[in-house]
Amino acid sequence: MKLQKRLIATLGFASLMVTASSAFAQPADEMDNQPAGQTQAVAPEDYNKTKRGGLFVEPAVKYDLLQGSIDYPAPFSSSDVKAEGPGVGARLGFHISDIVFLAAEGNYSQLRLTDDKLHYSAKGNAFNYGPSVGVQTPWAGVRVWGTYLLGGSFDPEKDNNVDIAFKDMNGYRIGAGLRFAFVGASLEYERATYSSTELQNAGPLSGSTNNVKMTNDGWILGLSFPVTL
């Protein structure tokens, strides 16, 4: 239920952005000069020419390098873990005054979770979503932004008789990047916590619980391809 509410909140945020962007719509004579159906990638040298309130979509490919810990209740101790792997993401948003941008963001990754203490290593599907706000600077296409992670989950496969699914993700990302022509390169720092866990197969701890939590932090490398709509 919490995950559904957070997803509805994010979709509502995206709808609000689309509605707000109409207030900054470009004049009709400017729109007449643009061929129907034509999209334009936002290069650094052309950023100041971007129409105010212009909608944009920004697909991306990423690679996550995360580490963290899983806290088990007594008599079990916590375990240090790593989660690494490739992923994809996308933003849908709009610009304000050619400087600030607001967007709804979603990410999907296929991560390998490794826990040396439990001799556990398995791939799993991870996704998260939330609103982003950022600033485009006038210096060589430099951008900075932050993302609040409203929700997400991570469900690794079964290994060594352990099958765990992490839910109710909450956290943030802070990122910076450069834009080269039609491609953006970025580096983001993430810190997040999965506040509930489903122990699908873990001996005496099997079942859904809020007493097992995973916290992770680390870096995410990315290449993105921003396009104005």
pLDDT in tens, 86-139: 999 999 999 888 789 999 999 999 999 999 888 889 999 999 999 999 998 888
Specify the pLDDT at position 216.
95
Please tell me the distance from the alpha carbon of residue 225 to that of residue 229, in angstroms, as a whole number: 13
What residue segments make up the domains of the chain, in order of their start? 2-228
3-state secondary structure of 8: helix
Torsion angle defined by CA atoms of residues 178, 179, 184 and 187, in that order, rounded to the nearest 10 degrees? 0
Please tell me the distance from the alpha carbon of residue 67 to that of residue 48, in angstroms, as a whole number: 39
Q: Are 64 and 83 in contact (CB under 8 A)?
A: yes
Instruction: List beta partners, residue 213.
Output: 71
3-state secondary structure of 194: strand
Please tell me the distance from the alpha carbon of residue 134 to that of residue 41, in angstroms, as a whole number: 18
Specify the pLDDT at position 169.
96
Specify the pLDDT at position 209.
60
How does DSSP classify residue 159? B
- From 2.60.40.1120, 2.10.260.10, 2.40.160.20, 3.30.499.10, which CATH number describes the 2-228 domain? 2.40.160.20
Q: Are 108 and 121 in contact (CB under 8 A)?
A: no
Specify the pLDDT at position 204.
56
Structure token pair of residue 206: 């099997």
Start-to-end Cα distance in the chain: 34
Map tokens 């240090």 to a residue. Answer: 80
